[in-house]
Amino acid sequence: MKRVLSISLALVAAGLVVLSTTIANSGANSGANSGIKKEVTFNKDIAPILYKNCAECHRANDIAPMALMTYKEARPWARSIKERVLTRDMPPWSPDSKYGEFTNDHRLAKNDIETIVAWVDQGAKEGDAKDLQPVPEFTSTSGWRLGKPDAVFDIGKEFTVTPGMPDTIQNFIVPTNFKEDKWVTAAEILPGNRKVVHHVIAFIQTPEMIAQFQKGEGRARAMMQSNVFYREGTLTKVKADAPVIDDGCGDPNGGSAFKRPSASEGGDAFGLFLAGYAPGKGIDVFPAGTAKKVPAGSMLVFQMHYSSYGGKFEGQQGDRTRLGLHFTSKPPERSLNTVGIQNHYFKIPAGDGNHEVTACYTFDADVHLTSYMPHMHLRGKDMKYDVIYPDGRQETLLWVPNFSFNWQTMYYLKKPVALPKGTKLIVTAHFDNSEKNKYNPDPKKTIRWGDPTYEEMMIGWMEYYVDRPTTGDRPDAARATASRR
* Distance (Å) of CA 233 to CA 157, 162, 450: 19, 16, 12
String marking each residue 49-68 x if it binds ligand HEC according to CB under 6 A: ----xx-xxx----xxx---
To ligand HEC, the closest distance from the beta carbon of 40 in angstroms equals 14
Whether the link from the prior residue into 91 is cis, omega within 30° of 0, is: yes
Interface of this chain with ligand HEC, residues 116 to 175, rule: CB under 6 A: none
Site stretch for ligand HEC (CB under 6 A), options 89-97, 288-296, 317-325, 440-448: 89-97
What's the Rg (C-alpha) of the chain? 24
Closest by CA to 404, choosing from 101, 104, 94, is: 94
| Identity of the residue, 63 or 285, whose beta carbon is nearer to ligand HEC in the bound complex | 63
| Identity of the residue, 64 or 339, whose beta carbon is nearer to ligand HEC in the bound complex | 64
| Identity of the residue, 65 or 315, whose beta carbon is nearer to ligand HEC in the bound complex | 65
- 91 lines the binding site for ligand HEC (CB under 6 A): yes
To ligand HEC, the closest distance from the beta carbon of 26 in angstroms equals 13
Backbone φ, ψ for residue 195 (5° rounding): -75, -25
- 406 lines the binding site for ligand HEC (CB under 6 A): yes
To ligand HEC, the closest distance from the beta carbon of 54 in angstroms equals 3
To ligand HEC, the closest distance from the beta carbon of 119 in angstroms equals 11
Among 407, 411, 412, 431, binds ligand HEC (CB under 6 A): 407
Among 85, 184, 220, 228, binds ligand HEC (CB under 6 A): 85
String marking each residue 280-319 x if it binds ligand HEC according to CB under 6 A: x---------------------------------------
Distance of CA 249 to the CA centre of its chain: 25
Question: Residues near 223 by Cβ (< 8 Å), separated by ≥ 6?
Answer: 229, 236, 257, 258, 269
Site stretch for ligand HEC (CB under 6 A), options 88-96, 195-203, 286-294, 447-455: 88-96
- 107 lines the binding site for ligand HEC (CB under 6 A): no
Among 42, 51, 71, 77, binds ligand HEC (CB under 6 A): 77
| Identity of the residue, 69 or 457, whose beta carbon is nearer to ligand HEC in the bound complex | 69
| Identity of the residue, 54 or 348, whose beta carbon is nearer to ligand HEC in the bound complex | 54
- 80 lines the binding site for ligand HEC (CB under 6 A): yes
Question: Residues near 329 by Cβ (< 8 Å), separated by ≥ 6?
Answer: none
Which amino acid is residue 205, in one-letter code? Q
Q: Cα–Cα distance between 197 and 192 in angstroms, integer?
A: 8
Site stretch for ligand HEC (CB under 6 A), options 83-91, 205-213, 331-339, 393-401: 83-91
Can you point out the beta strands (E) in 243-298? 272-277, 284-285, 290-294
Strand arrangement, sheet containing 380-388: 355-362, 424-431, 380-388, 394-400
Site stretch for ligand HEC (CB under 6 A), options 10-18, 90-98, 217-225, 326-334: 90-98
Among 92, 95, 100, 255, binds ligand HEC (CB under 6 A): 92
To ligand HEC, the closest distance from the beta carbon of 408 in angstroms equals 9
Taking the chain, what is the end-to-end CA distance rounded to the nearest angstrom? Answer: 72
- 81 lines the binding site for ligand HEC (CB under 6 A): yes
On whether the CB atoms of residues 141 and 61 are closer than 8 A, the answer is yes
The length of the chain, given as a count of residues: 485
On whether the CB atoms of residues 270 and 172 are closer than 8 A, the answer is no
| Identity of the residue, 193 or 262, whose beta carbon is nearer to ligand HEC in the bound complex | 193
Q: Cα–Cα distance between 261 and 485 in angstroms, integer?
A: 9
| Identity of the residue, 280 or 332, whose beta carbon is nearer to ligand HEC in the bound complex | 280
Q: Which residues of 402-438 are buried (b: 16+ CB within 10 A; e: fewer)?
A: ebbbebbbbbbbeebbebeeebbbbbbbbbbbbeebe
Q: What share of the chain is helix, strand, coil (3-state, %, to 5)?
A: 20, 30, 50
Helix (H, G, I), strand (E, B) or coil at 289: coil
| Identity of the residue, 81 or 245, whose beta carbon is nearer to ligand HEC in the bound complex | 81
Count of other CB atoms within 10 angstroms of residue 16: 16
Site stretch for ligand HEC (CB under 6 A), options 23-31, 73-81, 125-133, 370-378: 73-81
- How many residues make contact with ligand HEC (CB under 6 A)? 20
What is the contact surface with ligand HEC in residues (CB under 6 A)? 53-54, 56-58, 63-65, 77, 80-81, 84-85, 90-92, 108, 280, 406-407
